Amino acid sequence: MRDFSIDTSSLSLNTATLGHNIPGYGAGWSTERVIDACAERKFGGITFWRPELEGKPLAAIGDRVRDAGMTVTGLCRSPFLVGPLAPSNKTEMLDDFKAAIDETSELGALCLTVLTGGVESETKGLNESIALVTELLNDAVNYASENGVSLALEPLHPVYGGNRSCIVTIRDAVEICNIIDNDFLGVAVDVYHVWWDMTVGEQLKKLSKDRILSFHLCDWLADTQDVLLDRGMMGDGVVDIRALRSRIERAGFDGFCEVEVFSAQNWWKKDPADVLDICVERYKTVC
């Protein structure tokens, strides 16, 4: 297992941690300021959100990250593909999915995070939605691979099963990846979504080599107030993060570990400089 106490080269910031993904939250630092602040603290990478980069020169932002010695570890995210939060017009959804793939390529990011969306209207249970998602991903990954972009399918905690993700376990994400079987499709593992699942390690071992594309760090607070926007900073909750990382690394993962803390009432209200300092400290001590 890698020793994070002495080396932050695998530490990445997901800019959601600074509240950037939702208008009206966060301190409003510019993208450039975030890049410089991460570089100063020896982060190894940054993952951005599409809304915060809208209208900006993506290739130049990617270059700025790389010139600072870091990697663009990802771009968040695809549109929801199915379910109540997916664009009602399917053509629009597919166009936006393609645009997200193009943007990932332009930025030079390692992967595009894919969230599936929840249960499709007029259906019950997860099966039909999962089948639809498999079909859509099968097409999308062809376009992605032509553009050199990897898609990271992220299963969400079952609490989001209704609206945000019909894929609620690593098991189902791995199964879809193995059905489609394309080198450009893998999984994203997020502490928040999988910490309760004791089978994560053995499920991930069923994936082909190098298809664990990212690992998202945060914590599950024992007294969670809001399942979307009250994530804990690593060390503040109930997850044994190091044990989870060990299981994921035994399944072959050696990539970036990305801090992704959605926290409207706590971390998003703090000075981003302090938040970044604490990310580094917690990464070294509890991850």
Provide the binding-site residues for Zn ion, judged by CB under 5 A: 190, 216, 260
User: Which CB sits closer to Zn ion, 179 or 228?
Assistant: 228
Coil, helix or strand at residue 280: helix
Cβ-Cβ contacts under 8 Å for 262 (sequence gap 6 or more) = 16, 17, 21, 218, 228, 229, 230, 231
Nearest distance in Å: CB 99, Zn ion: 21
Q: Give least dist CB 77 to Zn ion, A.
A: 9
- Which residue from 239, 197, 193 is spatially nearest to 214, judged by alpha carbons? 193
Cβ closest to Zn ion, residue 64 vs residue 81:
81
First to last CA, the chain: 11
**Closer residue to Zn ion in complex, CB, 52/190:** 190
Choice between 157 and 247, CB closer to Zn ion: 157
Q: What's the closest the beta carbon of residue 153 comes to Zn ion, in angstroms?
A: 11
Cis, bond preceding 77 (omega within 30 deg of 0):
yes
Which residues are CB-neighbours of 12 under 8 A, at least 6 positions away?
A: 43, 44, 45, 46, 47, 71, 73, 74, 256, 257, 258, 259
Least distance to Zn ion, CB of residue 188, Å:
6
In the bound complex, what is the minimum distance in angstroms from residue 216's beta carbon to Zn ion?
4
CA distance 85 to 97: 14
Q: Helix and strand tally (H, E) in the chain? A: 10, 8
Distance (Å, whole) CA 283 – CA 287: 5
* Residue closer to Zn ion, measured from CB, 64 or 177: 177
* Shorter beta-carbon distance to Zn ion: residue 64 or 169: 169
Considering the complex, what minimum distance in angstroms separates the CB of residue 156 from Zn ion? 8
